[in-house]
Amino acid sequence: MRKIIYVIAFALSFSLLHSCADDFLDQRPDERLDEQQVFERYNRVSGLVTELYNNAKSGNHPLVFFNHFSSSAVTDECEGSTVEGSLTNLFNSGAWSPSGMPDRSSCGQYWWDLWTYVRRANVVIEGVKKYNTPDDPLQPGNLQKRIGEAYFMRAYYHYLLIRMYGEIPYLDYLVDPQNIPEFKKESFHTIVEKICADADTAFQKVPAKVGDDEFGRIEKGMCLGLKAMVRWMAATPMWNGGNFPNDTREFKNEYTYDPQRWVKARDAAKAVLDFKVEGVPRYSLYYGNYGPTDFENDQGKNENNSKVRARLWAMFYDMQSFKQEWVFFVTRDKYEAWQGDVYPPSWGGGSRQMPVQEQVDEYEYIAPDGYGYPIYANRAKVDGYDDGNPYESVQRDPRFYRDIMYHGSTFKNNKINTAEGTDKIGNQNSTTTGYFLRKFLREGWNRNYGFQIHAPAIWRLPEFIYIYAEAVNEISGPTKEIYDMINEIRARSFMAPMPPTVLTDKKLMKEYIQRERRVELFYENNRIWNTRLYLDADNPDELAKEETWKAAGSDNDTRSQNYWPYPKTQRMINGMRPVEDPNGQIEINGKKYRMERFWIEDRVFVTPRHYLFPIMADELKRTPTITQNPGW
C-alpha cells in the first residue's frame, strides 16, 4: 500500500502535486512555495481542487477504461482486438495476477493511483482547516464550494476503490508520516456509510445547480447520485446475501441478506429522481426536437437507410442532453484517433472492439401486439423472428440499430459486408465477431479529421431509474409506477413498452430491468461491474444454461447454434457470420445470405477470484495488515 504508507508531510506532498498543478504553484527561482504560502491564497487552493477533477478523470475513463480499450471488451458485450499487446484478451485469458496487471504502467484506475488521489483530497481538506484559507475575494462563497468539491472527490475516489477491490480502509484523514497507523480493511457497508457521510458534507457546501461558466463542477444532485450508487451496490448480491464461493472476505458475516439495504437504495435513488431546483426537477430524460421520422445525422444527411434515429445520436452530443440528463461526467474522455478504432476497414478504420452475440441477443423486438419481447422468448418465432435474418425479420429495438453495425446494415450509404472484401470476418483490422461498433459514432464525421468524444457519462438519469425500479420490485414486487418509469425510457428511444404481464410477475420484471440496463447502458462502463455485483458466474440459472450449452452438440459451433441465449457466466463469447444461401433473406452485391451463429472463444472467469481485482503483491509486503482479496 505504497501510496498510503509513504504519505508525505504537507510540504513534500505539495511538491508531489506540483507536476500536476504547475499553473497554481508559482515557482520562485531558488525555492518552492511551502504549504502555508499555498493555503493562505484562495486561488492556489482552487487550483488544487481543479486538479482533483483531473484525478477523477484519470481514475475512471468510461470510454477507455483500460488504456485505449473499453471495459466492454472484458465482458460479454465486446471482444477486443490484438493491438497493444492484446491487452483485454489478457484479462479474458486469466493472465493477470497480484504480480502484474496488463496495463499497470499506463492507467490511473488502480489501487496505488486511487490512494494518491485520496491523499490529495485530504491535503486540500486539512490544509484549508489548518491555515484558515481566505475566501475568494472576487466571488465570496467560492471557498465553501471548493471544500465541498474536495469532500465529494474523496468520497468518489473511495467509491472507485470499493467498486474494484471491495473491502478497503477509509482514509478520511491525512496520514502523519511520523505516526503511520496499521491500515486495515473495513466492512463494505461501513465504507458505504462513510462515503455517504462525505457526500452529505459536500451536499451542504456545493450549489444546487452551477451556471454555464462552471458547467461540470459538482452540484448537489451529483452528491445524491453518489449516495444512490453505493447504496445500490450494497444491496446487490455480492454484498447482500449472494452466493460468494470460498468466501475469505474479512467481514463476510455482515453480508447476509438484509432487505433494508434495498430500502436504502430505493430512497437514495428516489432522492435523485425527485431533486428539484427552484421547483423544477433537476434531471429529466432528453428528447430534443426529434420525432420518430427524424433519421438525419449531424450534417442533415440520411446515410443509414432510415435505421438510426437522430435523437438516439444527439443524446450523446447535444449540450441540452448533458445539462438535462447527465448526473455526473468527465469531458473529452477520448478523442485522438478514436474514430479509427471503430470505423470498419472499408472506411479506413480498425475494429478495436467488436460487439458479440451475447450483447446483440439482448436487444428485444417489437411484436405485432405492440409490446417488446426478447428474441429468445417462446413467442418470437411465431411473431416472425428468423435467426437466419435476425436484424430485419422483425423490428428490433431502435437502440440496436444505433449501437451495432451488422452484415447488411447501411453505413455512409454503403452496405456492410462481412462475407467478403475488407470488412470480411477475420480480415486484417476487421471484425472477428461479425459486428462493428456504432454507438457514439455519428456518420457525418470524416474519419480523416479528429473529433472529440464527450460521451459516455459516468452516470445518466436512466441508471437511477433502474436502481429505483429494481429496489421497489425487490421490496414489494412490480408496481404501475416503475412499469411506467421504465417504459418512459423505452419510449424516449422509440421502443415499445414492456408487456403488461410484468406487472404480475416479480421475476419477469427483474429480467426486464436487467435487460434494459444492459441495452441502455451498453458500452458505458457498466457491464463489467454489474455482472460481478450480481455474481452471474455463480448464478444457479446461468450455471444450468452453461451445462445445457455444453450438452447441445459435439463441437462448439454446433452448440452455439443449438442453444441460446448464452449463459452470463463470462466464460464464452459467440458471433454471427453470413453464409451464402439461395433462400437467404439478406442480399448484398447480388448474393443472398443467411446468418449463422458461431463460437469464438472460451474465456477464463474463476470465482471468487475474478469478482474483485487483486491487490498488488508489493503493496501487501509493505502493508502486511492488509489482506489479499479472495481467490488471489
Q: Over 306-354, what HEC string results?
A: CCCCHHHHHCCCCHHHHHHHEEECCCCCECCCHHHHHCCHHHCCCCCEE
Cβ 198 vs Cβ 152: under 8 Å: yes
Q: If 0-12 CB within 10 Å is exposed, 13-18 middle and 19+ buried, where does residue 269 land?
A: buried
Name the grid cell of 150.
474536495
Q: What angle do helix axes 506-520 and 461-476 make, rounded to 10 degrees? A: 170
Name the grid cell of 29.
527561482
Name the grid cell of 491.
419510449
What is the amino acid identity at position 501?
T
DSSP 547-581: HHHHTS-SSHHHHHHHS-SPPSSSSEEEEEEEEE-
The string of pLDDT tens digits covering residues 447-490 is: 666 555 666 899 999 999 999 999 999 999 999 999 999 999 99
Q: What is the CA radius of gyration of the chain?
A: 25
DSSP 37-57: HHHT-HHHHHHHHHHHHHHHH
Cβ 371 vs Cβ 498: under 8 Å: yes
- Residue 627 inside a domain? The answer is no
- Residue 592 inside a domain? The answer is no
The residue written with cell numbers 425510457 in the block is 489
The 8-class DSSP code of residue 140 comes to T
Task: Strands of 3-125 (E only): list them.
Answer: 78-80
Question: Whose CA is closest to 167, among 537, 628, 621, 610?
Answer: 628
- Residue 120 inside a domain? The answer is yes
Alpha-carbon distance 193 to 230, whole Å?
Answer: 9
Structural domain range at position 157: 2-65+107-268+612-622
- Residue 52 inside a domain? The answer is yes
Name the grid cell of 232.
445500490
DSSP 239-294: GTT---TT---TTGGGGS--THHHHHHHHHHHHHHH-EETTEES-----TT--TT-
* Region of 367 on the Ramachandran plot (φ > 0 left; ψ -120 to 50 alpha; else beta): beta
- What end-to-end distance do the CA atoms of the chain give, in Å? 16
The 8-class DSSP code of residue 60 comes to -
Alpha-carbon distance 316 to 137, whole Å?
Answer: 37
Instruction: Provide the pLDDT for residue 503.
Output: 98
CA atoms 609, 612, 616, 621: torsion sign: negative
- Greatest pairwise CA separation for the chain in angstroms: 81
- Residue 487 inside a domain? The answer is no
Tally the C-alpha atoms within 13 A of residue 492's C-alpha that lie toward its C-beta.
21
For residues 427-463, one letter each, b for 16 or more C-beta atoms within 10 angstroms of the residue's C-beta and e for the rest, the string is eebbbbbbbbbbbbbbbebebeeeeebbbbbbbbbbb
Task: Strands of 51-169 (E only): list them.
Answer: 78-80
Residue ranges for the chain with pLDDT beneath 70: 1-32, 104-106, 296-300, 332-339, 445-455
- Bridge partners of 576, per DSSP, are 597
The 8-class DSSP code of residue 112 comes to H
Question: Whose CA is closest to 517, among 541, 486, 542, 494?
Answer: 486
Alpha-carbon distance 506 to 238, whole Å?
Answer: 20
Question: Whose CA is closest to 588, among 459, 438, 421, 443?
Answer: 421
* CB contact set of 327 (below 8 Å; sequence gap of 6+): 221, 222, 225, 272, 283, 457, 458, 459, 460, 461, 463, 464
- Percentages helix, strand, coil for the chain (3-state, rounded to 5) are 45, 10, 45
- Domain harbouring 263, CATH code: 1.25.40.890
* Tally of residues, the chain: 632
Question: Whose CA is closest to 182, among 626, 621, 617?
Answer: 626
Name the grid cell of 481.
409506477
Phi, psi (degrees; rounded to nearest 5) at 574: -135, 165
- Residue 324 inside a domain? The answer is no
Give the number of domains in the chain.
1
Alpha-carbon distance 583 to 568, whole Å?
Answer: 33
Alpha-carbon distance 498 to 397, whole Å?
Answer: 12
Alpha-carbon distance 354 to 345, whole Å?
Answer: 13
- Residue 347 inside a domain? The answer is no
What is the amino acid identity at position 111?
W
The residue written with cell numbers 478514436 in the block is 338
- Residue 11 inside a domain? The answer is yes
The residue written with cell numbers 485520496 in the block is 118
